[in-house]
Structure formats: C-alpha cells, structure tokens
C-alpha cells in the first residue's frame, strides 16, 4: 500500500480510500447515466440484435457515450469528496496523452 501511495503522491490511507471511492462511484454513475441517455435517445440493445454486427455497434456506441459522461462526472464527484486537485491533475494528464492538449491549448 505504501508503494501505491508514493506512486500516486498520496499522503494518507484515508486519502487513498477517498480516491478509490471516487473512482467507484464515478464509474458506476457514468455507466448508469449513459444507459439512461441511450434509452432516451431510443438506442437499445434489442434494436440491434437482429444484425450480425448489431451487438458490436451497440457496445461501441455505449462506450463512446460513457467516456464523455465520465470525465466531467469524475471532477464533480472528486470535488464532493474533497479530492478535486488530485483528479484535476490526473484528468489533465489523461487528456494530454490522448492528444487533446493540442486541441484545447495548454491544459
């Protein structure tokens, strides 16, 4: 546990627990919200089940829907748990590695 704390730059076990809680809540909430959004848009798995590529298309759409919901939700939930600084730094690194640093300028 000590190596994880030093790698992530975390000072205490309590902060590590909060970080794990933020990840867990954000992951579950983003999947739930993406499912609701797809349902309201009329995109359901049963509609695509007849095509040989339908299931694959549905899951690609679902994953592409989860990602844009996850990122802002991560910051909101991190703020609620008092871990905004840690997750803002993490998210900036993630976006820069994905190539969005060039699009949005210097993050």
Asked whether residue 9 is assigned to any structural domain, the reply reads yes
Asked whether residue 78 is assigned to any structural domain, the reply reads yes
Asked whether residue 101 is assigned to any structural domain, the reply reads no
Asked whether residue 24 is assigned to any structural domain, the reply reads yes
For the segment 10-55, what is each residue's pLDDT rounded down to a tens digit? 888 899 999 999 999 999 999 999 999 999 988 887 776 677 777 7
Rounded mean pLDDT of the chain? 87
Asked whether residue 29 is assigned to any structural domain, the reply reads yes
User: What is the domain extent for residue 7?
Assistant: 2-93
Asked whether residue 104 is assigned to any structural domain, the reply reads no
**Cβ proximity of 19 and 10 under 8 Å:** yes
Asked whether residue 27 is assigned to any structural domain, the reply reads yes
The C-alpha atoms of residue 66 and residue 29 are separated, in whole angstroms, by: 10
For the segment 44-62, what is each residue's pLDDT rounded down to a tens digit? 877 766 777 777 888 888 8
Our count of domains for the chain comes to 1
Confidence bin at 73 (pLDDT 50/70/90): very high
The C-alpha atoms of residue 4 and residue 20 are separated, in whole angstroms, by: 12
Question: pTM of this prediction?
Answer: 0.81
Average pLDDT over residues 58-75: 92
């Amino acid at each position: 546990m000590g190596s994880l704390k030093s790698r992530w730059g975390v000072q205490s076990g309590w902060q590590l627990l909060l970080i794990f809680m933020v990840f867990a809540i954000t992951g579950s909430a983003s999947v739930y919200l993406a499912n609701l959004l797809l349902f309201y848009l009329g995109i359901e798995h049963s509609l695509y089940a007849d095509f040989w590529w339908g299931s694959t298309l549905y899951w690609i759409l679902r994953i592409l829907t989860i990602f844009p919901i996850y990122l802002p939700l991560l910051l909101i939930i991190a703020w609620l748990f008092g871990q905004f600084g840690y997750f803002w730094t993490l998210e900036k690194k993630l976006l820069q590695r994905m190539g969005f640093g060039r699009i949005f300028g210097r993050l």
